[in-house]
A and B are shown apart, each in its own frame.
Chain A
Amino acid sequence: MQQRLTEKIKAGERLQAEEAAALWDLDILTLGRLADLVRRRWHPKPMVTYVVDRNLNYTNVCVSGCKFCAFYRPPGNPEGYVMDQTTLEEKLAETVTLGGSGVLLQGGLNPNLGLEYYKDLVKCIRGRFGLHVHGFSPPEIAFLARETKKPLTEILARLMGAGLGSIPGGGAEILVDRVRRAVSPNKCSTQEWLGVMETAHDLGLRTTATMMFGHLETRAERVEHLLRLRHLQDRTGGFTAFIPWSFQPHSTTLGGTSASALEYLKTLAVSRLVLDNFANLQVSWVTQGAKIAQVALSFGANDFGSTMIEENVVAATGVSFRLSREEIVRQIATAGYDVRQRDHLYRAMETGGGRS
């Protein structure tokens, strides 16, 4: 089986579900080598990109109450907030000063914020501060559509009109309803998540996709998740990158333990091998730390993520790795790669990056 798998991968042939399932049993070095082979096919030059941005969590008030989340606060909770305009503008100004190219906007499903709020937020970031808006995961958009009783196309068109530049792939967790019902019953379904992305792609918006694994899902369900993404990508070609990371249990309802480094690297490598139509694969230093993230560059990934001028969601679980731009550049360069800063559409930027 390993021989056959290797032949297929070397020939660039698509792996089917049973073949993907067999990948998990390969020894870690072989799996890494195969993923690295595919990475080089996509990116022949030994280069790794990163982006300078900030995660702005405009509100933590959320009616979804997902069991794996330590960040949300239910409506009425005294720790609930909606970011005020002054704070927002300070953060945006700081982002510009620090050389950020954009902002990732993500927040709870807050029933008190209407479409106008979202549009104003986008207009402020894009229009006044000139920053790219990588905003609102599918659950937020689906929620907005439901609350305003407007179709997805209209919501997205309005947001694009206000300056929305791309959509982050959050809220995907595992794209299998059995798992979603168990860990995030109040959030959009698999079909709804895919539906938002499909609509976005059709409107010309690029998006990323993610996967949060290492909780209640099986390895087979991870593969199902990947196959669903691959299928949609075949149709629309709108996904720019895929980012898997492991669930961090501390302070969450779900609890438990987080997946090991080996499981993370295997999942990363399997993702590279299955998602044969995704150009970019990103490591998660936020959940794994710099050491494993750097090693992950040998396991199929070609992007180091963001400098994360700010990050609150994972930090709420007590996992708060932080890396400066200089440190990211050093991690990439000492692994033997050229470094290049990119934008949110995964285009290399002319300035920035460099070698340490």
Chain B
Amino acid sequence: MPEAQLNFTDRELEPLYEKVAAQERLNHANGLTLYRSADLLGVGFLADLVRRRLHGRKAYYIYNQHLNYSNICVNGCKFCAFGKTAAEPGAYEMSLEEIFRKVEERLAEPISEIHIVGGLHPDLPFSYYLDMLRGIKALRPAVHLQAFTAVEIAHLAEVATMNVADTLAALKEAGLGSLPGGGAEVFSPRIRGDLCPKKLSPAGWLEVSQTAHRLGLRTNATMLYGHVETNEERVDHLLRLREAQDETGGFLTFIPLAFHPQNTGLEDLPETTGFDDLKNLAVARLLLDNFDHIKAFWIMIGPKLAQLSLAFGADDIDGTVMEERITHMAGAQTPMGLSRQHLLHLIREAGCDPVERDTLYNVIPS
């Protein structure tokens, strides 16, 4: 039984404890039990067991920079407040000069990763993207470029009129280091059909990710929760990711993304609750037994909850982000940037050891 012989208040968690202690894989029904449980501390305890086994008390963070090169997007997903058509007020696309200037402005800072995502722009040529990567690398040769979600990659393949593998190879040659995990949303066909019918399908998303893996590129994975999805759909999504990971093993980190309703086509939905935010992190940690890292994205859930997340399965907090437009357009009320000092304080106060990492979780010595 758990430390200090404290019982679960939800008896249904007891058999799950047996499994987790024995490092047995949890199944679909177990996933549903976890999501349905009102015993938040019990679920947290289970997730924390796994987290400690994998990472001890380490809490990873990265010093990175975000670039959202354009918000012009052809998809029109209902849950998105960021994407705009070219004609809409507020639509923008950054020129390469602007992008390079943003990178130059911060050359003095010890930024180890630049995280690049944007909308599916109908007109920008493939050369824009290649030149972007090359140009940034020229300015900062050592930086890791985590750029373009699987959705963007599929789009770029069409723009370049190449297959996905060749597109990725070309981007890799230009400096691409890894893929961020966005665009997965929820894999359920019902959700895709209702909320983002134009978007790359789940099979397509997984195919791009796995192709990247086979080319030696690591990628992240996400799930957008807190809108109209059911617990079943959440579990299905996580298990599909797990299956893909069993096959190609290239997923680095999973990040549950809290849906923000403001300025989206789902504005009447409420914000996610703290309970649900912690649950999603914990359940992800428990189901995704073949993913090394679970990240709490404080831009989405706030620094208060992100700190607490470290006890509920998360081993990674992102991060010292200075410029992030996507969630802020949807109403996130978190500060635009946390100082490293504040972040370290939050981590230590949580009883964890802060470890600065690079994109691939190599330790950056202080």
Mask: chain A, 267-285; 1 = CB below 8 Å from B; 0 = not? 0000000000000000000
Report whether B308 and A295 are in contact in the complex, using a CB–CB cutoff of 8 Å: yes
Cα separation A261 to B306 with both chains bound (whole Å): 10
Q: How far is the CB of B311 from chain A (nearest CB, A)?
A: 5
Binding-face segment, B25-33, B36-44, B136-144: B36-44
Interface class of chain B by DSSP: helix
Task: Contacts A2-B4, A30-B3, A327-B270 known; list 12 others, CB within 8 Å.
Answer: A28-B308, A29-B311, A33-B6, A46-B38, A261-B305, A262-B308, A290-B271, A290-B274, A292-B274, A330-B270, A334-B276, A337-B38
Report whether A334 and B4 are in contact in the complex, using a CB–CB cutoff of 8 Å: no
Q: How far is the CB of A219 from chain B (nearest CB, A)?
A: 13
User: Which A residues touch B45, using CB under 8 A?
Assistant: 29, 33
Given contacts A29-B45, A33-B6, A294-B273, contact A335 B304 (CB under 8 A): no
Binding-face segment, A34-42, A158-166, A341-349: A34-42
Given contacts A6-B4, A30-B3, contact A290 B273 (CB under 8 A): yes
Report whether B40 and A30 are in contact in the complex, using a CB–CB cutoff of 8 Å: no
Cα separation A334 to B308 with both chains bound (whole Å): 19
A191 within 8 Å of B by Cβ? no
Report whether A298 and B304 are in contact in the complex, using a CB–CB cutoff of 8 Å: no
Nearest neighbor of B6 in chain A, beta-carbon distance? A33
Cβ < 8 Å to B, chain A residues 278-326? 288-295, 298
Interface residues on A, range: 35 or more
Report whether B307 and A36 are in contact in the complex, using a CB–CB cutoff of 8 Å: no
Closest 3 CB pairs of A and B: A336-B38, A291-B274, A261-B304
Q: Footprint of B on A, CB under 8 Å?
A: 2-3, 6, 27-30, 32-34, 36-37, 40, 46, 260-263, 265, 288-295, 298, 327, 330-331, 334-337
User: Which B residues touch A335, using CB under 8 A?
Assistant: 38, 40, 273, 275
B350 within 8 Å of A by Cβ? yes
Report whether B307 and A260 are in contact in the complex, using a CB–CB cutoff of 8 Å: yes
Cα separation A336 to B12 with both chains bound (whole Å): 15
Report whether A27 and B6 are in contact in the complex, using a CB–CB cutoff of 8 Å: no
Interface residues on B, range: 20 to 34
* One of A28, A29, A34, A294 near B275 (C-beta < 8 A): A294
Report whether A32 and B41 are in contact in the complex, using a CB–CB cutoff of 8 Å: yes
Q: How far is the CB of B171 from chain A (nearest CB, A)?
A: 38
* One of A3, A30, A37, A294 near B274 (C-beta < 8 A): A294
Report whether B38 and A295 are in contact in the complex, using a CB–CB cutoff of 8 Å: no
Cβ < 8 Å to A, chain B residues 1-24? 3-6, 9
Q: List 8 A-B contacts (CB under 8 A).
A: A2-B4, A36-B41, A262-B349, A288-B304, A291-B273, A292-B304, A295-B305, A331-B273
User: Which A residues touch B44, using CB under 8 A?
Assistant: 29
Cα separation A260 to B305 with both chains bound (whole Å): 10
B277 within 8 Å of A by Cβ? yes
Mask: chain B, 272-290; 1 = CB below 8 Å from A; 0 = not? 0111111000000000000
Q: How far is the CB of B111 from chain A (nearest CB, A)?
A: 26
Q: How far is the CB of A139 from chain B (nearest CB, A)?
A: 30
User: Which B residues touch A331, using CB under 8 A?
Assistant: 273
B302 within 8 Å of A by Cβ? yes
Report whether B6 and A298 are in contact in the complex, using a CB–CB cutoff of 8 Å: no
Q: How far is the CB of A249 from chain B (nearest CB, A)?
A: 14
B346 within 8 Å of A by Cβ? yes
Report whether A291 and B277 are in contact in the complex, using a CB–CB cutoff of 8 Å: yes
Q: How far is the CB of A30 from chain B (nearest CB, A)?
A: 6
User: Which B residues touch A298, using CB under 8 A?
Assistant: 40-41
User: Which B residues touch A3, using CB under 8 A?
Assistant: 4
Cα separation A2 to B5 with both chains bound (whole Å): 11
Cα separation A330 to B307 with both chains bound (whole Å): 24
User: Which A residues touch B6, using CB under 8 A?
Assistant: 6, 30, 33-34, 37
Nearest neighbor of A40 in chain B, beta-carbon distance? B9
Report whether A30 and B4 are in contact in the complex, using a CB–CB cutoff of 8 Å: yes
User: Which A residues touch B38, using CB under 8 A?
Assistant: 46, 335-337
B235 within 8 Å of A by Cβ? no
User: Which B residues touch A265, using CB under 8 A?
Assistant: 308
Q: How far is the CB of A295 from chain B (nearest CB, A)?
A: 4
User: Which B residues touch A334, using CB under 8 A?
Assistant: 273, 275-276
Nearest neighbor of B272 in chain A, beta-carbon distance? A291
Nearest neighbor of A266 in chain B, beta-carbon distance? B349
Report whether A291 and B4 are in contact in the complex, using a CB–CB cutoff of 8 Å: no
Report whether A33 and B41 are in contact in the complex, using a CB–CB cutoff of 8 Å: yes
Q: How far is the CB of A258 from chain B (nearest CB, A)?
A: 10
User: Which B residues touch A290, using CB under 8 A?
Assistant: 271, 273-274
Nearest neighbor of A356 in chain B, beta-carbon distance? B270
Report whether B349 and A260 are in contact in the complex, using a CB–CB cutoff of 8 Å: yes
User: Which A residues touch B302, using CB under 8 A?
Assistant: 289, 291
Cα separation A30 to B38 with both chains bound (whole Å): 17
User: Which A residues touch B273, using CB under 8 A?
Assistant: 290-291, 294, 330-331, 334-335
Mask: chain B, 339-366; 1 = CB below 8 Å from A; 0 = not? 0000000100111000000000000000
Report whether B270 and A295 are in contact in the complex, using a CB–CB cutoff of 8 Å: no
Nearest neighbor of B10 in chain A, beta-carbon distance? A336
Cα separation A295 to B275 with both chains bound (whole Å): 6
Cα separation A6 to B346 with both chains bound (whole Å): 27
Given contacts A260-B346, A261-B307, A291-B301, contact A6 B5 (CB under 8 A): yes
B152 within 8 Å of A by Cβ? no
